[in-house]
Every structure is written in structure tokens, then in C-alpha cells.
Structure 1
Amino acid sequence: MEKTLQTKPCRLGDQNTSDLVICLKDREGRHQQLYSHSSVLIKRSKYFAERLSNPDPSNSINVHCSEVNFDHHVNLLRLLYLPIDLILDSLDSVKSAVGILQSAVAFKCDEIVCCCIQYLEAVPWEDKEEEHILKAVSKLGPIAMPIIARIQPVDLAATKTVFISAIRVATSIVGPCPPFGNELKTSAQEQVEYMLGEDEDTPLVTADDEVKSVVRMGLSHICSSFERELSSLLLEPDLASETADEKIMQSLSDLEWMCNILGKMDLMKDFVSNWAESSSNVIGVIEDKKLDSFMWGLKIKLIEVTAKVLEAVGYGNVILPAPIRLALLKSWLPYIRKMKPLLDAKGSEDTGFPYKMNEDLCQTIEGAIVTLVLALPSNDQADILADWMRAEQVRYPDLSEAFEVWCFRTKSAKRRLVEGLDGAGNATLTL
């Protein structure tokens, strides 16, 4: 009866059956001898197949490596002894798989390279791991495409579709999204800002006509919601309740967010126009006697949003007709002038009072108002400056610079008029 010889599987480190020693060495002096088998190495590694194809009386191969990849080389040699169908399951972390992948590329172990790529493509990465993965696969060519596909830029149409959907959620055009509610809306707002190029990054989406149309729709929806919530304050039985405060502040927060993103999309004029149009109604509600001692957070936030509007108009980023600019000033200048000393007084009485006009905000508003005043027709400037000087407290905003320029321009204009009359042969007017 014939007996079939069964060959025992080779094991890395089995000195009794080994016919080859791999000597790993690094620059730090670390070294390790691994008893291996030429038959395994030739079959699983083109590198070792090439090394062993040359006649060499030595039964050892020296491999020099860095301290970083020393352990990965050892792990790779162990994987060479595993059946191919068990290699994938033996990988247990992104860091280890990246290291083994780099070693497998160096030793031309194609089967293990494929297993590492399959593993890395399927498991989640942390942000800090992504750069290491990209570095490891950047020169592998088509074989690395499953990994590259996870992070390659999507086409513009797909990006725009995601952006428009995010805008609809961020502005509540699609209504609440149970069970996520405001959490999803907040997340959508954050990602919209990021996609538009937060921190001067490259924007992911171009504001074409379709995108602008959806954004304008969102602006209209947010503005309507804010005005509705603001008007309903006067119907609230208890203005000191947290519910009343939270609802209006959330609505105003959405409006402020919209102001921020429109500036990145060349749509700030839409926001400013809406704000100018609704200013008289907003002021009418916020100055109602019922709100005298309440809603300080709302009042300071309104001033902050108004500061962005005044800045955009005052420095010429948004071009509006003079009557609208004048109406904007006449709505908000008296209110800001009144609120500043009130907020300062509240802060003096209570050092923990959080609603204050800080120095940066004050300077922004003051600078914007000065430039706004000086861009108006001379007679309108005169009305505003006269009203400013009639105030009981001519302290904030300080319009003395605008007053000085107005005086100089008025005198220059008079002089030009006189010189013009002289040139026409008319009687000289004396100043």
C-alpha cells in the first residue's frame, strides 16, 4: 500500500527546517535574525526571488532598514508564511497596514500589497492617518485606485447638488428633519461655510445662478422667520422666559449666519437690502416699552448684525442709492447712540453683565458711520451732524471727523462757486 508523503508546512523561525537566514539591521544598531525558507520567499516575493536567483555560497541575506519600518519588515516576513486567504484577516490597524504595505512594495510582494489596499479601502481612517495612507499609495498607480476613490474630488455637479441640499437644510426650507432637528441644521450651516472656503481654503462650490437662486430663497425664508418671531415677542405673556429668548435668538443666529455666507458668495447686497427694508419694523419692535428691561442679548446681537451691514455699505462693498443709505443711518444711528450708554451703565452696575459693546465693535460701527455720513449729499450730512450735536451726550459715535470734513467741503464748495461766478463775469461774493 502506497503511503502519501505529507510535507509539514514551513514556519518562520524554524531553525531545523530553515535553509536561509534573513538578517534585519537598522542604523541604530538593532538587528534580528529570522530563520526562513527560500522556497517560501521565492514564491511570495519577487525581491527575494531575484536575490536568490544569483549563485551565492552564503545562506543569509542582509536587509538594511530604518528604525521606523523595522517592525513592519518583520510582520511582512511573517505574513509570507500565511495562506493568502488569511492575510486580510490578520491585518488589525491602519498604522500597521500602511507600514506592511510599504514593506510589501519594497519587497515586491504583490499579493500582500493587494491585501493591504483592500484592508485600507474598507476601514475608517482618522484625519492624521490619511496623509500617511496617501504617501504610501501615491506611486502605486492603478492598483491604489480603490483608496484614491475615497478622497478624490467629486465632479462639480455632484458638489453643487450636495451644497444646494445643505443650504435647504441650513435655512429650514425643507422644514425640520426629525429626529435630528436643529442639530442637523447646525451641522449643515457649518459645512456650507466650510465648502465656501473657510479660512481662505479653496472653495468647493461655485455660486452659479442656480446656487444663488436657492440661497436667495433661503435668505427670504430666514428673514421672514426672524421678523415673525420678533413681532411675536410683543404677544409673549412672559418675556423673561427662556423659551421666548431661545426662539428669537436662534432665529437671529440663523440670520447672522446667512450674513456671513452671503459675503463669500458676492450676495451681500441681498442681505443688506433686506436688512434696510426691515429696519424700521425691527426698530419699532425692539424699542417697544414692553422690551425695555428684557432681551439684552437680542439687542446687542442686532447691533452686531447691523455693524456688518453698515460696514459693507460704508466701505463701498455694497452699493445702494443715497436715500436707502440715509434711511439706514436714520434708523440705526439713534438706536445705537441710545443703547451704548445703557449697556455701559448695565455693565457698571453688574460686572457679570455679558451684553456689552466691546472696543472692536465700537470702532467698526464708528468708522462705518463716519464713511457713510461723508458719502451722503451735503444737506443730509448737515441734518445728521446737527442732530448728533444736539444730543445730550455727544460721545458715541464720535462724528467729529465727519464734521470737520463736512466743514472743509462746504467751504471749498462755496469757494468753487464764487470762483465760478467770477469767471462768468458776475459780482464777487465774499465769505
Structure 2
Amino acid sequence: MIGQKKRQRVGSSSRISSSSSIDFPKPDGSLTETSAKPLLPSIPGGFNDPLTADVILSLQIDSDSDDSDHSSHHLHLHLHSNVLRRSKYFDALLSDRWQTNSADDDDRTFRINLKAASASMDPYLTLLQLLYSNDFSTAILTPSIALSLLPVALHLLFDECIRACIQFLEAVPWSEDEEKAILTIIPSLGHEESRELLARVSPPRNNSSEEMLHRLITASIGNHPYVASAKVKSFVAKMLKDFPSRDSVRRVFDRAFEASLKTVKESLEKYSSPDFRGDHDETEAIQRLNLHTAVYHGKDLLWLVERMIELRIGDTAVKEWSEQVSFVADLLRAFHDDVWRNIAPGLPALVLRCTARLADAVATGSVLAAREVRLKLVSVWLPVLIVCREKNVSPIPSGQKQLYQELEETFLRIISTLPMSDAELLLHHCLSFATRNVEDCPHLVSAFNTWFRRATRPPHDNENAT
């Protein structure tokens, strides 16, 4: 006999007794019952016709319950060998090799016992009827029906039904549970049979999820042609926040941050280049373009920084920001003239906001930066803060602190985490935070008091020992 493989069955689990009639499945996957206790339909010359049948098929399913109605698990069907041969399983059973042992010599009636490899007879009865018909479209109406028939078709090697089920599943949407069932049954299919199904659920590349995430980020920070940018950013932020792999999200954000920062830096470098400086009319358009480009991508950069801090994946951004010596030099050159005020007045605020978000993440411990990174972050960006403060270039939101004052406090908190020798050098540069009224700069007073308190503390025992 041909070996029968146990296959997981999905779909309807209702049971049909030997006295119930059957029809093609309804859209919900169940079978139609025409009356309370009708006989199985007998189609003259066709399905279950005892007068013309030459095969008696005994269909049964296992029952684990001793007190259950065994009649509901056993059916005798009158079928025809020429029809059953459409199934390779039955064709093998009816071959000359098995006829001697399977046929009754008096009436030449073959007797076949078939144990259903599922918890219900419904899909087996439906498939046996389909052997008498090619009308698969009438029988396969939903994914659940296709999924209930497909394991039986594989069990009985009914190729036409297998193809019909797969073609249906390829063409229609699936629920999440149906997709799980399809993934379970795919290993039982051949390569060609499963190719389209696999293409629908399998990423084409190992990093395809990250590529999709990167495209989402790119769409959110670029000129989206269909909907407002704010709506796209809100949607993308939600998707990224809920994405299960933090490592993937971190990598795509680092990639996007690096690209946006590079664009901003290149724009400022071109603007600050001696080749493009001066009052020549022919350079004005280029100067405007460079500054506008810096502002445009600076907004993208700020959005990326805020999302990275929100997701607690800003480690790489903090480290990268602390190493922008040449970028800061270009910014300082740009801020020392007044051209930017008429062309890109929002540029200083964007740069300060990026710095403030990253510095605050370090000061609060959201990003655990090494000593060297903390030192460089303050050392590199403190001059930008001082210039902006002196020129009063940052906006003053109504009812809020000035942006540069918030950054002052954050820098002083980071300085308090550094060795006293480093803190001493940096605090000297922070003297510009002072005001005529000492009460207006309590953060600076507190920072110096902290340093002096530590400086006057008696040496620790370990220091004496050395």
C-alpha cells in the first residue's frame, strides 16, 4: 500500500454520520444538510450509485472516545474505479498488483478501506465528489475550504484538486490564521507548487525588512507626493516604534542619520567655501540654494534625532555628533556673517535643537556615552552655543526658556560627569553663560559650586596610597 502521511488539517471540523446527505461546501466551509436523516445522495451512473459502482469505499476516522457514536465515523460509499483513477493514490490501489487481494472474485467489486487523515470526513466526501466533476470553482469558495481540501488532495494524490486549491490561495487575501496554516502546509508541496505562495510570504533578501524600513524613513523625511509630510511621519514613527527587531530599527536609523547629516554638512561646506563667498551676483543663487538645502535636510535630521532618542537607539548619533569638528567650523563661519539671517534664519535653531536632544539623552542616561564621547560632545559644540547666545540667534518660544539656556544647563550637567581636570577646562569656556544678575544663571552658579566642593574635599584614601 502507499504510505499515508499525517498532515495537519485546517478548516471545518464538523462530522457527518452515515445517514446524512452531503453537497458541495457552503461559503463558510460547512456542508449542506437537506434533512434530519436523509440517505447519502445516489447519482445514477455517478457518485454513490450502488447499481453501477465497482468499488465499495469504507471511509472512517479514528475516535478516541469509547462512548461516542461510531456510526458518525464510518461510511460506505459506492464508487467507480474509472473515476477514482484520477487520484494517483486510488490508481495505485486499483492497479493489477493489488487486484488479486482487493477484488471479490464473484462480482469483481473492489473493496477499499480508507482512514481519513483528519478529524472530519467533510473534506474527503467533498473531494470524492470532485472526482466526478471538474467544477472546482463551485466547491472552492474560501481560503478555509481550500485549506481543508488541500491536505486531503495531497493525501490522495489528486493533482487537479491540488492545483485548483493552490491557484485559489495564490489569488485571494488571507487572514493571519490562514497564513499560518499555509506556512504549515507549504513543506508538503513541491517546489513549483509552492513557489507563488512562498513568494508572497518570504522576503526576497535577508535584509528586505530593513530595506522596507529604510524606504519608510526615506518617504517620511522626503517630499511625499500624495499626503502631508506630517501624516507620513506619524505613521512611520508608529511602525518603527512597534517593529519587533530593535537592532534592525537601529541600523536603518543610523543609515538615514548618516545620509541626512552628510547632506547638511556638504551644503554648509559649499556655502563656507572661499570659492563661493563674496558679494558677487552670480554666486547669490548658489549661496541661497546651499543654505536652503541645509535647512531642509536639517529638519529631517532633527526628526531622525527625536525618533532615535524616543526609541533609545541614539548611541551612534551621539558619537557621530561629537566628532563634527569640520561641520562646526563651517557653521561658525556661516554664523559670523549675517547672510544666513535673510536666507535661512531657522538654521541655527535646527542645529541647536539637534544638539540639545542628543546632549539631553546623554545627561539623562538615555544614551550611555563613554567619557571621551561626553567630553568631545561638549567641547565641539560649546563654541556653537556660545556664538548663538552672543548673537541671540535662537528663537524664544512664548512662555519657555530660550533654547540656548536649556542647552547650557544640559552641557553643565554633562560637565559634572567628567573628571575634574576636564571639567575645569570646560567651565572656563562656560563663563559666557553669566549674566549681570547672578540670580538669572543659577545653573552656572551650581556648576562652579559643585566643582569647588569637590576640589576642597580631602583626598580619598586610595589617592593617599598612591
TM-score by length of 2: 0.52
Show the 5 A alignment for 1:357-376.
Answer: 370-371=416-417, 376=422
CA gap of 1:45–1:184, structure 2 versus 1, over 3 A, is farther
2:232 to 141, 161, 185: 185
SS of residue in 1 equivalent to 2:360: helix
Q: Are residue 94 (structure 1) and residue 143 (structure 2) matched?
A: yes
- The code of the aligned residue for 1:12 comes to F
8 A contact 1:44–1:80 mirrored in 2: yes
Once the two structures are TM-superposed, the CA of residue 411 in structure 1 deviates from its matched residue by 4.5
Q: For 1:262 and 1:218, how far apart are their aligned partners in 2?
A: 24
Question: Which consecutive residues of structure 2, in runs of 5 or more, have no partner in the other structure?
Answer: 1-42, 105-109, 269-290, 332-352, 388-398, 401-409
CA gap of 1:183–1:379, structure 2 versus 1, over 3 A, is closer
SS of residue in 2 equivalent to 1:20: strand
Question: Which consecutive residues of structure 1, in runs of 5 or more, have no partner in the other structure?
Answer: 1-7, 230-247, 279-299, 332-341, 344-363, 421-431
SS of residue in 2 equivalent to 1:103: helix
SS of residue in 2 equivalent to 1:132: helix
* Corresponding position of 2:123: 72
2:61 to 8, 12, 25: 25
* Corresponding position of 1:378: 424
CA gap of 1:383–1:178, structure 2 versus 1, over 3 A, is closer
Q: Are residue 308 (structure 1) and residue 343 (structure 2) matched?
A: no
CA gap of 1:394–1:128, structure 2 versus 1, over 3 A, is farther
Q: CA offsets, 1:34-73, max 9 Å, x none?
A: 6241425532222233344342547352414443x54333
8 A contact 1:76–1:104 mirrored in 2: yes
Once the two structures are TM-superposed, the CA of residue 272 in structure 1 deviates from its matched residue by 6.4
2:187 to 138, 162, 169: 138
CA gap of 1:145–1:324, structure 2 versus 1, over 3 A, is same
Once the two structures are TM-superposed, the CA of residue 178 in structure 1 deviates from its matched residue by 3.7
CA gap of 1:217–1:38, structure 2 versus 1, over 3 A, is farther
Q: For 2:166 and 2:428, how far apart are their aligned partners in 1?
A: 74
Once the two structures are TM-superposed, the CA of residue 135 in structure 1 deviates from its matched residue by 0.8
Q: For 2:113 and 2:84, how far apart are their aligned partners in 1?
A: 13
Of all paired residues, the percent bearing the same amino acid is 19
* Corresponding position of 2:281: none
* Corresponding position of 2:379: 323
2:165 to 116, 122, 127: 116
Q: For 2:76 and 2:383, how far apart are their aligned partners in 1?
A: 85
CA gap of 1:153–1:259, structure 2 versus 1, over 3 A, is same
8 A contact 1:12–1:34 mirrored in 2: no
Q: For 2:412 and 2:133, how far apart are their aligned partners in 1?
A: 74
- The code of the aligned residue for 1:371 comes to T
- The code of the aligned residue for 2:102 comes to P
8 A contact 1:170–1:185 mirrored in 2: yes
SS of residue in 2 equivalent to 1:21: strand
Q: For 2:85 and 2:369, how far apart are their aligned partners in 1?
A: 76
CA gap of 1:371–1:107, structure 2 versus 1, over 3 A, is farther
8 A contact 1:46–1:107 mirrored in 2: yes
* Corresponding position of 1:103: 152
Q: Number of matched residues? A: 350
Once the two structures are TM-superposed, the CA of residue 146 in structure 1 deviates from its matched residue by 1.7
CA gap of 1:372–1:260, structure 2 versus 1, over 3 A, is farther
1:216 to 250, 258, 261: 261
Query: RMSD in angstroms over aligned alpha carbons?
Result: 6.1
SS of residue in 1 equivalent to 2:113: strand
8 A contact 2:305–2:314 mirrored in 1: no
8 A contact 2:378–2:411 mirrored in 1: no
Show the 5 A alignment for 1:19-418.
Answer: 19-27=55-63, 29=68, 30-33=72-75, 35-39=77-81, 42-52=84-94, 53=98, 54-57=101-104, 59-67=111-119, 70-83=121-134, 86-88=135-137, 90-142=139-191, 143-155=193-205, 165-172=215-222, 176-182=223-229, 185-186=232-233, 189-190=236-237, 193=240, 198-200=243-245, 203=248, 214-216=259-261, 256-257=306-307, 259=309, 263=313, 266-270=316-320, 307-310=360-363, 311=365, 312=367, 318=373, 320=376, 322-324=378-380, 370-371=416-417, 376-378=422-424, 380=426, 407=453, 411=457
Once the two structures are TM-superposed, the CA of residue 181 in structure 1 deviates from its matched residue by 2.8
CA gap of 1:369–1:212, structure 2 versus 1, over 3 A, is closer
- The code of the aligned residue for 2:151 comes to Q
Decide which structure has greater helix share: 1
- Please tell me whether Structure 1 or Structure 2 has the larger radius of gyration of its CA atoms: 2
CA gap of 1:273–1:45, structure 2 versus 1, over 3 A, is same
User: Which of 1 and 2 has higher RCO (CA within 8 Å, sep 6+)?
Assistant: 2
Q: For 1:94 and 1:214, how far apart are their aligned partners in 2?
A: 44
8 A contact 2:59–2:74 mirrored in 1: yes
TM-score by length of 1: 0.55
